[in-house]
Chains A and B, each alone.
Chain A
Amino acid sequence: MGDYKFAKDKLAEVIGALKDYQVFAPTAVGDVVRFKEVEDASAIKLDYANSNVPPKELMFPETETLFKYRVGGADIESAVTEPKPRLVFGIRPCDALAYTIVDKLYNWDFPDPYYQERRDGSVLFGMACAEPAANCFCTSMGGGPASEKGLDALMFDLGETVYVKTLTDKGDKAAKAMGLDAAGDAEKKAAEAVEKDALAKIKRSLDTEGIPEKLPSLYDHPFWEQFSDRCLSCGICTFLCPTCHCFDIQDEQEGFDGRRARMWDTCMFSEYTVHTSGHNPRPTRKERTRNRISHKYSYFPEKFDVIACVGCGRCINYCPVNIDILDILEKSKQAEVKEAKA
């Protein structure tokens, strides 16, 4: 594939050249960075560690219509539409890696047309991390500040210029549409230096060896309570997780117009699993905390052969009560498994 570059102050032109694409990029409202459709290229913010809300919302929006109907009628109108090709500009390698993990779930047995439609129609232009944040541990989860997994092109911020390395045909096509200049060895070298620097800045790590196998044996272990006792049962860790994919389905009516929609939901809410009878299989925060961690690090890999975590550090950064997933996993390794009860 190709090597390209563009001058940073030409960003608006580069984005503007993408007439055939719907371009999404990180934009800031105050200090909050989130991926939005680009209307004005000057709003694009590239010097951030990780967006507050992960770009999973581009493939799996907070709320989306599944189908519409007239109440009392018998016609159902599906809301799957083929969107204009999308280009996600400046996505972090960890978030792109997360897509590849969630893909497995959404393609399991029944392909999910809503997710897949957006996924197939998207070109991902990643931006390598130059300044990983304090709680990043992507290198432990099969990614890295310049990981190419799941991306169509990877960009490196070299100060004045941006070096673009295309990785797929889709990416190359988009790079050509942007009208980029060819890059040479100087840029490649500089990019390598950026990656090396970034790697050195990643301070946190985790050896995942043995965790998926061990977690189920800690089902009744009291160590969960050290964490669940201070859990607020809020949705921050899961809503902001790029691999969390759970949702709720609700019917909504406005006059005679109705729709069935799905919206993000989280296993941390107590009402998530509660039965109509009032029985709740996960009645306390202990079960819910255990389920979140076990699902990511044990159940998901058991089913799909990959840990549902990319090490973006969001759940650590935003947890209001400092429930640190690395801390939990380290403690889980130390926890002694009691012999099965006789």
Chain B
Amino acid sequence: MSEEFEPNIVAFLCNWCSYAGADLAGTSRMRYLPNIKIIRVMCSGRVNPLFMVNALQQGADGVLISGCHPGDCHYLEGNFYARRRFMLMRKLLEHVGVDPGRVNMSWVSASEGAKFKEVIDETVAKAKEAGPMEQFRRRQINW
């Protein structure tokens, strides 16, 4: 088993900034790691932190929420709410023994294609270091 562990990352990207940032990274031909599965949401504030828990439960080894920089939210304040929730959920997951490197958030604007690449690389690196998510992964227990 010399094959290197390739983590699955679920990324929730806000429609107005981070998704456009990901687009820019693509059109600028930057190569970011292919481990991420992008879910586009209208705003990072739409991401119920339970999405992260369920992603980790159902096969993700890491999650990422990305939105507009504070103050730039298309809906004025969605990312401020998202930030509070994220900070709390991260603490909670850390408390039950989930490696905090699996739970990530970033601010990426539509013009930050390069930053998007960096964020993805870092997220993947952290999840790689944490290894496969095992704690409360669904795995046909008692089937």
Which of B2-10, B22-30, B63-71, B135-143 lies at the interface? Answer: B135-143
Q: Which of B138, B140, B142, B143 has the most CB of A within 10 A?
A: B143
Please measure, in the bound complex, the distance between the C-alpha atom of A134 and the C-alpha atom of B31, giving whole angstroms: 70
- B140 engages A63 (CB within 8 Å): no
Please measure, in the bound complex, the distance between the C-alpha atom of A68 and the C-alpha atom of B140, giving whole angstroms: 11
Q: In the complex, which residues of chain A have a beta carbon less than 8 angstroms from the beta carbon of B140?
A: 254, 257
The residues in B between 94 and 143 inclusive whose CB is less than 8 angstroms from any CB of A are 138, 140, 142-143
Q: In the complex, which residues of chain A have a beta carbon less than 8 angstroms from the beta carbon of B143?
A: 65, 68, 257, 259
> What's the least CB distance linking B50 to chain A, in Å?
19
Please measure, in the bound complex, the distance between the C-alpha atom of A65 and the C-alpha atom of B142, giving whole angstroms: 8
- B142 engages A63 (CB within 8 Å): yes
Q: In the complex, which residues of chain B have a beta carbon less than 8 angstroms from the beta carbon of A68?
A: 143
Q: Digit string of B31-52 for contact with A (CB within 8 Å is 1, else 0)?
A: 0000000000000000000000
Q: In the complex, which residues of chain B have a beta carbon less than 8 angstroms from the beta carbon of A257?
A: 140, 143
Q: In the complex, which residues of chain A have a beta carbon less than 8 angstroms from the beta carbon of B138?
A: 254
The residues in A between 43 and 65 inclusive whose CB is less than 8 angstroms from any CB of B are 61, 63-65
> What's the least CB distance linking A338 to chain B, in Å?
49
Instruction: Mark B residues whose CB is within 8 Å of A.
Output: 138, 140, 142-143
Q: A61-B142, A65-B143, A254-B138 are in contact. List 8 more A-B contacts (CB 8 A).
A: A63-B142, A64-B142, A65-B142, A68-B143, A254-B140, A257-B140, A257-B143, A259-B143
6 closest A-B pairs by beta carbon, nearest first, are A65-B143, A254-B140, A259-B143, A63-B142, A254-B138, A257-B140
